[in-house]
Amino acid sequence: MPESYLPKGFLWGFATASYQIEGAPHEDGRADSIWDVHCRIPGKIADGSSGDVACDSYHRTAEDIALLKQCGAKAYRFSLSWSRMIPLGGRNDPVNEKGIQHYVKFVDDLHAAGIEPMITLFHWDLPDGLQKRYGGMLNKDEFVKDFENYARVCFMAFGAKVKYWITFNEPWCSSILGFSTGLFAPGRTSDRSKSAEGDSSTEPWIAGHSFLIAHGAAVKAYRDDFKAKDGGQIGITLNGDWTEPWDPNDPADVEAATRKLEFAISWFGDPIYFGKYPDSMRKQLGNRLPEFTPEEIALVKGSNDFYGMNHYCANYIKHKETEPEPNDFVGNLEILMVNKAGDIIGPETQSLWLRPYPLGFRKLIKWLSDRYGGPTFYVTENGTSLKGENDLPLDQLLEDDFRCEYFRGYIGALADAHAIDGVDVRGYMAWSLLDNFEWAEGYETRFGVTFVDYAGDQKRYPKKSAKVIGSIFDQYIKKE
């Protein structure tokens, strides 16, 4: 037994997202999401692929549940496709009973297998109807009403069967990658070589504001009309990488490292816990960052029952002397893999942005816990790709020791954060159960503990990490 530990009853399992695994885009009444549309634009997805088939999980729910059981998972975090439930998306559009029934059955099947469902309402796949009708997140009033309506449809459909609800997955990604760099759907950006429309200096901040208000409205709906009878909890999932100063002896780099955390995480975290945007963001962005009305503050402040934390890696941060560009979204700084002393933050993976640094996990969750007054955390994603994994022959690919080491390091760091630093963490979902559609990267980058044979009828093969992860939790979770 290692010295550090995770609390008794710790909820661990795996995470996925609807568009990344389901396929079946036209089945049972589903309509397009903005990702279906985005994938059709040539050049947007590295391998020209889409989520049309993906892991075919829409047809293989039993197989996926069997995989979860085999791994010993206690929980499964998955997202609902809004376009299956309300195909056109809006509060006056028809609800699709078939879409609802698919997920109701899935939740029942999970329970029958002894696996706790954790539902994400929105993992980036906005119904395209709402994008076309009014610009999606850019139209705050419409978007908030439609999201609240969709959330209510879900709360009603699943009632007491679901104890863990997540409103949004990583609103940073939808806002910045969707409205600033244009890498993600809906692909808007000021860069006219990439999109005919968009304003990177304003739209990401407007979208982010809409997400916050919509989160607050959905949480209020749950607390007012469902929580007492259904007994669940609701929160938001925020992404964030840890930051180390490029030169720890340069106060400007130390400050920039914190500013990066504020631009990436506190953008959403501060309004939810304090009712305001971080000063560093207001200072740089001025009135491009929307203001909260008193009614909005009342909705947003205090709107997390728990903090959903997605975390993968760390970077070195170097301040910039020059004035920030109008499209800057990181806080006027450089993000680097090597520091002044020549240390490398972590080994390469298949994802350019992902360098494992387990100690950063412990440091970040402690930083968040201190900043936000010791909230309850559920880690809602953590995992890694492997450099060159996709090019390996199957027998070698299944021996994913690098991923096993990643999980050992990160789960150990989490146990330290809990046992030594006193962080209140109660669950952990590894990303991901399956190799899946890795957004703009297509299928070349794999994050699964299960290999999915895209050329061989989507057959699933558990990797070594699928077995190892359970033994790691066994080691750390307190029995008494």
Which residues contribute to the site for ligand GBH (CB under 6 A)?
A: 17, 20, 169-170, 173, 183, 239, 310, 312, 353, 381, 431, 438, 447
Catalytic-residue membership of 27: no
Helix (H/G/I), strand (E/B), else coil: 427: strand
If the CB atoms of residues 183 and 336 are measured against ligand GBH, the closer one turns out to be 183
Torsion angle of the four alpha carbons 303, 136, 445, 329, in this order, in degrees rounded to the nearest 10: -70
- To the query of whether residue 323 is one of the catalytic residues in this protein, the response is no
The active-site residue, picked from 22, 142, 148, 170, is 170
- Beta strands 450-453 and 116-122, pairing class: unpaired
User: Do 2 and 107 meet the contact criterion of CB atoms below 8 Å apart?
Assistant: no
Which entry of 148, 381, 389, 438 is annotated as an active-site residue?
A: 381
- Cis omega (within 30 of 0) for bond into 471: no
Structure tokens at 255: 């400050």
At 35, is the secondary structure helix, strand, or coil?
helix
**How far apart are CB 185 and ligand GBH at their closest, in Å?**
12
* Residue number, 149 or 310, with CB nearest to ligand GBH: 310
3-state SS of 290-332? CCCCHHHHHHHCCCCCEEEEECCCEEEEEECCCCCCCCCCCCC
Q: C-beta of 140: minimal distance to ligand GBH in Å?
A: 23
Helix (H, G, I), strand (E, B) or coil at 102: helix
Nearest to 387 by CA among 403, 376, 372: 403
Q: What distances in angstroms separate CA 399 from CA 392, 433, 463, one per listed residue?
A: 10, 16, 6
Nearer to ligand GBH, 155 or 312 (CB): 312
User: How big is the chain by its Cα radius of gyration, in Å?
Assistant: 21
Question: Which residues, 6 or more positions from 176, have their beta carbon under 8 angstroms from its beta carbon?
Answer: 204, 329
If the CB atoms of residues 338 and 420 are measured against ligand GBH, the closer one turns out to be 338
Give the nearest distance from C-beta 432 to ligand GBH in angstroms. Answer: 7
Based on CB atoms, which residue is closest to ligand GBH, 226 or 437?
A: 437
Residue with smaller CB distance to ligand GBH, 140 or 215: 215
What secondary structure letter does DSSP report for 465? H
Rounded CA separation 250/318 (Å): 9
Taking the complex as a whole, the smallest distance from the CB of residue 437 to ligand GBH amounts, in Å, to 8
CB 124 within 8 A of CB 183: no
Q: Annotated catalytic sites, by residue?
A: 170, 381
